Amino acid sequence: MAAWAQPHVYAAGKVDLLVGYCDGTFRADRLVTRAEMAVIAARSLRLPLAAESNPPFNDADHIPAWASSSVTAAAEAGLIKCRSGHLFAPGDYLTRAEAVTVLLNILLYFFR
């Protein structure tokens, strides 16, 4: 991980915004999937997560169980949108435009 990112990743970990993988690694060199971004977005606003969730996407059955409630919450809050065909595409990587849009939507959430 780049030295300039370490304090930010550490700070995000301290507030449970980023929790890493089951083996305790962060894997800073990996790209972020749409499912991972939805979890980060929902955590960043501490959105309430339903125990049972039904993500409003045509490919909801492809959303991993660990991300399902966060995807639903982030979508309902308007933080992340579907792709064409009303698909969430949970395993796809975010484009830069999608990442910026999610980040701006998180900031704008406070001004509703």
Report d(CA 77, CA 41) in Å as an integer.
10
| pLDDT of 100 strictly over 90 | yes
Are 37 and 101 in contact by the 8 Å Cβ rule? The answer is no
Look up the pTM and report it. Answer: 0.88
Report d(CA 56, CA 3) in Å as an integer.
39
């796809």: which residue's tokens? 92
pLDDT in tens, 67-89: 999 999 999 999 999 999 999 99
| pLDDT of 41 strictly over 90 | yes
| pLDDT of 1 strictly over 80 | no
Take residue 110 and report the two structure tokens written for it.
């406070």
Helices (H), 4-95: 6-14, 34-44, 65-76
| Amino acid letter, 101 | T
